[in-house]
Amino acid sequence: MEKLVSNDDIKRKAEELVKALKEDKRYKEYIRLRDELKNNKDVMDKMNKIKSLQKDYVKSAYFNKEIEVKLKELNKELEKSSLYKDYITKEKEINNILINITEGLNITFNNILNK
């Protein structure tokens, strides 16, 4: 069976797509915010505490109300940070872009296969 495109061609096109994403100003802003967030000890401490409490809350089968209250408190504190809010907003935007790319590729492949 003859291949329509080679694995090298596929890899090259995938690398072109990744390069285009990395050069996008929205992605660059996301990386900048992520790096700034990583260097903010207060915000990172809260995020790490939330992750730890979330694990404990899951282990309690969502029954430990003390953990639930503490999680809500920490989330409210975290949401007061403009850096955190900007990061989360940009992260959602980047995730939506990736979802759109994935859906677009799926539609394209389905169209090719169903012709």
Q: Which residues contact 42 (CB under 8 A, 6 or more apart)?
A: 81
Q: What is the pLDDT of residue 6?
A: 82
Q: Is 40 helix (H, G, I), strand (E, B) or coil?
A: coil
Whether the predicted model's global pTM rises above the 0.85 cut: no
User: What tokens does 62 get?
Assistant: 């969502």
- Is 1 a residue whose pLDDT tops 60? no
Domain limits of the chain?
A: 21-113
The Cα–Cα gap between 3 and 14 comes to 17
Q: pLDDT tens digit string along 6-50?
A: 888 889 999 999 999 999 999 999 999 999 999 999 999 999 999
Q: What is the pLDDT of residue 3?
A: 65
Average pLDDT in the chain? 93
* Domain with residues 21-113, CATH architecture: Up-down Bundle (1.20)
CA torsion 51-52-55-59 (nearest 10°) is: -160
Q: pLDDT tens digit string along 83-98?
A: 999 999 999 999 999 9
Q: What is the pLDDT of residue 57?
A: 94
